[in-house]
Amino acid sequence: MQIEMKIASLDEMYLVHAVMHEAFEEYRGVLTPPSGALRESVEDIVKKFSSGGGAVLAEIEDVAVGSAQFTLHEDYIRVGRVSVLPFHRGQGIGQQMMKYIEEYARQQGVNEARLGVRQSLPGNISFYQKLQYEIVAKKAHPSGIGFSYEMRKVL
């Protein structure tokens, strides 16, 4: 089974959205406050795309099974909404998407990747730590409920 990675086109933002929504569904009713991913629309993703954002799609046999969004800044890339469909988890797709985004960032002349992870999701924190991301800050959630970690990796 070959996993193909690519930068999503504007016309594929609906796929980015669909994968993200299905992947984040497991957090519905579990996270407090709720994940913003479940409220995000295709139009919201397109807006990010038009202001320096982009997305990666992971496909198996031309079927989208993973997506991740990013925003390119002058000196770093911000990664978010890393999503793998439940049936396809545990196959290294998330790791491959992260490596693909990191390589894309390097090609753009950026040598740092950043992301945020909720403190209440230790499995996600561990996932990024295995990819050599380090916790550099602890921040209160904007709602005032809970905390997240800012993580970064020098590329």
For the ranges 47-56, 121-130, 145-154, which has the lowest average pLDDT? 47-56
pLDDT, one tens digit per residue, over 61-84 is 999 999 999 999 999 999 999 999
Residue 49 confidence (pLDDT)? 83
- Quick one: CATH architecture of 3-154? 3-Layer(aba) Sandwich (3.40)
Q: Could you tell me what percent of the chain has a pLDDT over 70? A: 100
For the ranges 14-23, 47-56, 99-108, which has the lowest average pLDDT? 47-56
Task: Transcribe the chain into DSSP letters.
Answer: -PEEEEEPPGGGHHHHHHHHHHHHGGGTTTSSSPPGGGT--HHHHHHHHHTTEEEEEEEETTEEEEEEEEEE-SS-EEEEEEEE-GGGTTSSHHHHHHHHHHHHHHHTT--EEEEEEETT-HHHHHHHHHTT-EEEEEEE-TTSSSEEEEEEEE-
**Domain limits of the chain?**
3-154
- Structure pTM? 0.94
Residue 131 has pLDDT above 90, yes or no: yes
Confidence of residue 141 (pLDDT cuts 50, 70, 90): confident
Q: Could you tell me what percent of the chain has a pLDDT over 90? A: 86
pLDDT, one tens digit per residue, over 1-18 is 799 999 999 999 999 999
